[in-house]
Every structure is written in structure tokens, then in C-alpha cells.
Amino acid sequence: MLSIKNLHAGVEGKKILKGINLQVNAGEVHAIMGPNGSGKSSLASVLAGRESYEVTEGDVTLDEKELLEMSPEDRAREGLFLAFQYPVEIPGVSNINFLKTALNEIRSYRSLAPLDAKSFLALTKEKQKLVEFDAKFTNRSLNEGFSGGEKKRNEIFQLAMLEPKLSILDETDSGLDIDALRIVSNGVNRLRTDKNAFIIITHYQRLLEYIVPDFVHVLYDGRIVKSGTKALALELEEKGYDWLKEEAQLQEQV
């Protein structure tokens, strides 16, 4: 589904991603771990098309389509969803109005008629239940005055509503207490199918107890320095990231 080949990218001349290779197939969950500043959010931003990043080398396809050539909105319409590490607040724009606009834009791109008010409401209710999202938030202004945890849960609610092919969750677990973490994970697990895929960026092994990944990758200084299964996450928890430094340096030499 997603294929990243030798991706190099940076900001204002500063190299941040230094040759990422990753293959994600439908039905899979990939976890990306790594110390602060290793480039995890940058990878998510580059995939989603944030303007400030410049891609200097490499290739990314989503279902055979060249992702890097598309505008950010077209990537979203093609089925890429990013649950932001820091969701923004948009005062005065109701959550529900925003979602309706988003959903209908995506539908229009796929030549589908806009959802009528009734079907939209029904869908909202269904998804709210699925990810246990409190209805009182749906009519409030988008993320305005939401706590960190509420914002993260809103990201998952949006994910449920928009039904993307590929979802990237950027540290959705940080700032969540244990109950919220369980609710969010349950939501994600319910949304998993054999047709969609998830990339879960996290700092902690904790989340991966709830959302069990098929693969774990370690990002270090802009490169994936190690890939494995869930066992790798446990190993990282135990040993920290320092031991990877050497591996990274070794890789650099080749």
C-alpha cells in the first residue's frame, strides 16, 4: 500500500530524513519508535505534504500513485490520514461542521454525492460510539479549549469518520492517562481491517501492549536503523536507545 524508497528530506537546508525505506501492506500495523528529534514527526509531515519540508531525494507511492507529487489535500483524499502530535485549535469552527466539510470534500474527490444531513448524523453517532467520543465535543469549536487528551481523542474520532486507507498516528498516546489510552487503543483496534493500515509513532512500548504491531522500526538520526517485531519494542524499553548509536554509526560508514 505504502512504499517509501530512499527518502531524504529537510527543512531550510537542514537534513532531517536521510534515506528512509519502508514498505507497508494493507492490514498491517507498523510502529515507529526512536528518541526525541530522530525525525519521526518529520517523516509523518513529509508524507502528509507539509510545505516547510523539502524532499531532496526518494520516492513514495500510495497504492501505486506518486504521493510526493500530490497536494496535501489530495493525499488526504487518496486516503492518507495524520493524527497530529499537536492538533491545532480553530476558533469558531464547529467540530461537526468541519468534519462534514472534510468528509464531503473527500467524497466529491471520489465522485460520490455529499452525505445528506440525516446520513451524516447517523454516521457521526455510529463513530462516536465506536471510539467512545463524548458527544458534547462534537458541537464545540474545533479543539478550542480541549485538553491535550481531548484533542488526541478528537483525532481518533476524525480518523473514524473519514475512514482512511493509511493512518499515521503521531504520538497519540502521549498526554493520555491510562483510561484514555485504553479507549483510544480500543478505537483503533475496532477500526483495523484487512484493507487499511496504520503507522503508529510512539515513544513508549506501553501503547503497543494495546495495539499490537506487526512490525517495529527504530528511527535514529533520520534513518531506520533497526526493524523487528514486537519483541524489539520490549528490548528498547529495557535497553534504551543508546546502544543503537553504534549501529547507526556503523550504517553511516557503509
Partner 1 sequence: MASSTDILTDITEKDYEFGFVTDIEMDIAPAGLSEETIHFISAKKNEPEWLLDWRLKAYKAFQKQSMPHWQNFEMPDIDFQKISYYAAPKQKKQYNSLDEVDPELIATFEKLGIPLSEQKTLAGVAVDAVFDSVSVATTYKGKLKELGIIFCSFSEAVQEHPELVRKYAGSVVPHSDNIFASLNAAVFSDGSFVYIPKGVRCPMELSTYFRINTENTGQFERTLIIADEGAYVSYLEGCTAPRRDENQLHAAVVELIAMENAEIKYSTVQNWYPGDKDGKGGIYNFVTKRGICKGDNAKISWTQVETGSAITWKYPSVILQGDNSEGEFYSVAVTKNKQIADTGTKMHHIGANTRSRIISKGISAGHGQNSYRGLVQVGSNAKNARNFTQCDSLLIGDQCGAHTFPYIESKNSTATIEHEATTSKIGEDQIFYLNQRGIDTEKAVALIVNGYAREVLNQLPMEFAVEAQKLLSITLEGSVG
Ligand X SMILES: Nc1ncnc2c1ncn2[C@@H]1O[C@H](COP(=O)(O)OP(=O)(O)O)[C@@H](O)[C@H]1O
Does 222 help bind partner 1 (rule: CB under 8 A)? no
Residue 154 burial (C-beta neighbours within 10 Å; 0-12, 13-18, 19+):
buried
- Interface residue with ligand X, options 34, 49, 164, 187 (CB under 6 A): 34
Residues in contact with 211: Cβ distance below 8 Å, sequence separation at least 6, in sequence order: 29, 185, 188, 189, 198, 200
Does 19 help bind partner 1 (rule: CB under 8 A)? no
Does 117 help bind partner 1 (rule: CB under 8 A)? no
Does 147 help bind partner 1 (rule: CB under 8 A)? no
- Interface residue with partner 1, options 93, 130, 234, 248 (CB under 8 A): 93
- Interface residue with partner 1, options 23, 25, 52, 189 (CB under 8 A): 52
- Interface residue with Mg ion, options 38, 41, 143, 196 (CB under 5 A): 41
What is the closest distance, in whole angstroms, from the C-beta atom of residue 159 to Mg ion in the complex? 18
Find the part of the chain contacting partner 1 (CB under 8 A) among 58-66, 86-94, 179-187, 225-233: 86-94
Are 215 and 31 in contact by the 8 Å Cβ rule? The answer is yes
* The three three-digit cell numbers of residue 46, written as one number: 513529509
From CA 243, how far away is CA 196, in angstroms rounded? 34
CA-wise closest residue to 99 among 165, 156, 45: 156
Does 71 help bind ligand X (rule: CB under 6 A)? no
Cβ proximity to partner 1, 76 vs 233, nearer residue: 76
Q: In what order do the strands lie in the sheet with 2-11?
A: 14-24, 2-11, 53-62, 65-66
- Interface residue with partner 1, options 33, 82, 201, 219 (CB under 8 A): 82
* The three three-digit cell numbers of residue 112, written as one number: 460520490
Are 19 and 224 in contact by the 8 Å Cβ rule? The answer is no
Cβ proximity to partner 1, 75 vs 152, nearer residue: 75
What is the closest distance, in whole angstroms, from the C-beta atom of residue 172 to Mg ion in the complex? 11
With CB under 5 A, what is the number of residues at the site for Mg ion?
3
Q: What is the binding site for Mg ion (CB under 5 A)?
A: 40-41, 85
